[in-house]
Structure 1
């Protein structure tokens, strides 16, 4: 109870700090307008560069089919270039592919299209109400709001045991790679904020900036899950060290995000109870949930992973696992993101028996 109380107090404190962080870019924007005398609401929020050919048609039709087309297109591209991992079992491969295809090619385009059809009924007077916001200010405001919200969504799924099983699928992968970047339980995906936020912002007139954030974030988060440690040269090449120092504190990199997927924290590298940042790692620094080691864990996943059936991992609690004692089985234990206490005791007993023998 004391541990739960401490977690609740810390979450409450950090939530107050988050409110200030949400407001900060908006306050900074209006302060800048006041000091410079700039009145952008007298103009419009156009993209500061012209998209070529068919892309321009897509952007012009954001309020109808454009957003759905972009979400679908980005999903197909990620699928085509990302699935290079050759160490899958059949179950892991099926799970990764299903977790990619259903959310990105079905759920998100569905939400994008029908969400934009629904918005005029929910907010009939709000269409394009914020189109005056300059592109780069809109980008900053949306990037902070989107990623800070995801940081919290991610964090509470680790810190509240009853939510952990909805996020467990992402951590069950015993490997890193772009193939598993979207590996999530369907409930976790459906309640994920980014698609809904993009839809709402597009209707409100901030579609260009919202989609730009979505693309940039997708590149960063996919790169952080990549099996290629692309950040390594920034630590090993001396003249790149200053860039690496800034980079690893600003955005998620393989070194910082691998730590989050490590199967242990005992080596001083893994930090699966922290390093929650998605696009920005800076949230972990602000809230004290991050560590930076510039090293890479040697093993990933969950130590008590039983390679539960792909359908149980993707569709729990609708479908349950047949693995006895699994968190995803019927009446399975709710253990949070740590090794279950019963398993720890069993391991200690087995070690003691071996020592005696």
Structure 2
């Protein structure tokens, strides 16, 4: 049975995950989830962050790490061969995700680290592209990549593939604009499942809250909800916020579309936006602006009517989410 599960997850890590991402992408684009928010600059940011950090940097770290380790600790090769597959999955899952939880949390709590992580939060929308939208330097020092590379060298290669497939699936679904968790909150019979699910793994509701532009509405909570695969870390360490709602506004309240190259490679390249956190003379952490002003800036870009701006923005967002939910249900 374990071998069958392993084969399924191995396939998911290969073509299966690609199919999932393609399917989500088609849904998101079909229903206009990005709309006018995904302009040329944002497209370049998302594409560049997918190519360099995701496809180049992380695999390169693992590759060169596995070339380097035999030279420095040759006696430790495959020392964990005796560990069963199940225990190997558990070890990798905890080591990978707990390490990333703290790496992620520190970049929110230590001011001089924030700008390396800022790119992941700058987009005024949510979608599967957000899962890989990272600054290259931030990705270069991903602590979990080094930890899991060492564990693979010690003999936990197969469990690493499985955990990678599961984690990629969960994080992609958590960032997606498709609110697949809504039925668990809507139907009373599913409430017990929802209670466990939202405390165990990241869901759209909990992770979207982390990407909110404000905490004023009681839904957004960018000062917590740091978990990637497991939301359990937030429960344990007291950084959890569960509202079962979706933010009206995403991104950074003072974001003014820094150039894609600055978002990808800061501090090597700086932003030309005056006052930006990524500018040469910019502040380490810029003060948030009120949600009303943020929505007014959004309206200037999307030409939404000024009266009842916040309500219009929220209604637009909820209508899109409703359409996607209905279509997703029909597809399944």
- CA RMSD between the two structures: 2.5
Q: State the match for 1:219 in structure 2.
A: 169
Q: State the match for 1:109 in structure 2.
A: 59
Q: State the match for 1:14 in structure 2.
A: none
Kindly state the Cα deviation for residue 79 of structure 1 after the two structures are TM-superposed: 6.1
Distance (Å, rounded) in 2 between the aligned partners of 1:193 and 1:82: 28
User: Helix, strand or coil: the match of 2:46?
Assistant: helix
Q: State the match for 1:30 in structure 2.
A: none
The 5-angstrom pairing of residues 1-357 of structure 1 reads 48-49=3-4, 80-81=22-23, 83=25, 84-85=28-29, 86-87=34-35, 88-335=38-285, 339=288
Distance (Å, rounded) in 2 between the aligned partners of 1:311 and 1:81: 28
CA contact (8 A) 1:312 1:321 kept: yes
Distance (Å, rounded) in 1 between the aligned partners of 2:263 and 2:95: 29
Q: Deviations over 1:209-257 (max 9, x none)?
A: 1121111111111110000010000000111110001000111000100
CA contact (8 A) 2:124 2:249 kept: yes
Shift in CA distance, 218/112, structure 1 to aligned 2, threshold 3 Å: same
TM-score normalized by the length of structure 1: 0.73
Distance (Å, rounded) in 1 between the aligned partners of 2:182 and 2:108: 28
Distance (Å, rounded) in 1 between the aligned partners of 2:76 and 2:19: 33
Distance (Å, rounded) in 1 between the aligned partners of 2:146 and 2:262: 26
Q: Deviations over 1:79-128 (max 9, x none)?
A: 64554444310000010011001122211222222222222102100111
Which of these two proteins has the greater Rg computed from alpha carbons? 1
Kindly state the Cα deviation for residue 190 of structure 1 after the two structures are TM-superposed: 0.5
Distance (Å, rounded) in 1 between the aligned partners of 2:281 and 2:268: 13
Shift in CA distance, 181/318, structure 1 to aligned 2, threshold 3 Å: same
Distance (Å, rounded) in 2 between the aligned partners of 1:72 and 1:51: 12
Distance (Å, rounded) in 2 between the aligned partners of 1:277 and 1:122: 33
Q: Which runs of 5+ in 2 are unaligned?
A: 294-332
Kindly state the Cα deviation for residue 274 of structure 1 after the two structures are TM-superposed: 0.6
Kindly state the Cα deviation for residue 49 of structure 1 after the two structures are TM-superposed: 3.7
CA contact (8 A) 2:42 2:260 kept: yes
Q: Which runs of 5+ in 1 are unaligned?
A: 1-46, 57-69, 348-357
User: Helix, strand or coil: the match of 1:307?
Assistant: coil
Distance (Å, rounded) in 1 between the aligned partners of 2:142 and 2:14: 17
Kindly state the Cα deviation for residue 72 of structure 1 after the two structures are TM-superposed: 8.4
